[in-house]
């Protein structure tokens, strides 16, 4: 029996995404490490972006 494949996403606040994850060096690191992100508006409690 095979295990199902899972993808793990890191949920981050939209302000953190704008201030930190938009840096070129951080974008390079997330691409190299295939980091999956969910950008969340914490006040509205809604997902703004799924970043693969």
SS3 24: helix
Binned average pLDDT, 10 residues per bin, the chain of 52 residues: 87 97 95 96 96 87
State how far the alpha carbon of 49 is from the alpha carbons of 4, 14, 29, 37, in Å.
Answer: 24, 9, 19, 8
pTM, two decimal places = 0.79
Query: For residue 3, what pLDDT is reported?
Result: 82
């Amino acid at each position: 029996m095979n295990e199902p494949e899972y993808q793990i996403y890191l949920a981050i606040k939209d302000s953190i995404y704008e201030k930190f994850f938009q840096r070129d060096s951080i974008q390079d690191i997330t691409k190299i490490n295939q980091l999956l992100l969910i950008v969340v508006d914490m006040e509205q409690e809604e997902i703004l972006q799924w970043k693969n």
